[in-house]
Amino acid sequence: MEKTIRNFIFDLGGVLVDVDKERSIEAFKKLGVAQAEQCISIYKQSGAFSELERGEISAEVFCRRVRHMAQENISDKQITDAWNAMLGEILPWKLELLLALRKRYLVYLLSNTNAIHWEVACQRLFRYKGFDVNDFFEEIYLSFQMHLVKPSKEIFQATLNCAGLLPGETMLIDDSPENCEAARALGMQAYCVKPNEVWRHLFE
């Protein structure tokens, strides 16, 4: 690790949390939402899914929109369960690494996510040995709260400004090549995590 790095900004899905979007696509199809495959992709969503991620609509409105897409009387719980089906776990070594890094660096989270997934993250994924999500990060920046999404220059700049970080002292850990390129364009360093990569070697 370069000595100039003082700050790490982590992505959530695909870096910390194991994600399989096919599980959500299949779950939605079973509910009659045939358009799910067009709306859910690896890095970007579209339609109501994108609007939820940007914080442009509430979870309630999202469920109503999806129910309309299904043209069936499915419940909010069925919809949120299908949407959450993509979320796996955070492996313990990642949580331990975040705690260890916080002793030496400033550690942040910057994620394209939504209120439904974030509730699962807070209530389940980051519950570990008595810690909760706020114990793992200095600050947390989320697309649905910022009304911005990666890879826009604006979301990276807003994060740097809010946290008071210098780009040259900051490294992004993300699984999207587009996001990493956007960060580098602002003078940050970036590491693009490959699918299923065990990336702890970065800190050894």
The residues annotated with a catalytic role in the active site are: 11
Q: Which two tokens stand for residue 159?
A: 């994060």
Amino acid found at 81: D
Q: How far apart are CA 101 and CA 16, in angstroms?
A: 14
Give the number of other Cβ atoms within 10 Å of residue 131's Cβ: 13
Beta-sheet pairing, 170-174 with 7-10: parallel
User: How far apart (Å, rounded) are the C-alpha atoms in residues 52 and 199?
Assistant: 30
Rg (CA), the chain: 17
Relative orientation angle of helices 76-84 and 59-70, to the nearest 10 degrees: 100
List the structure tokens of 19. 């994600």
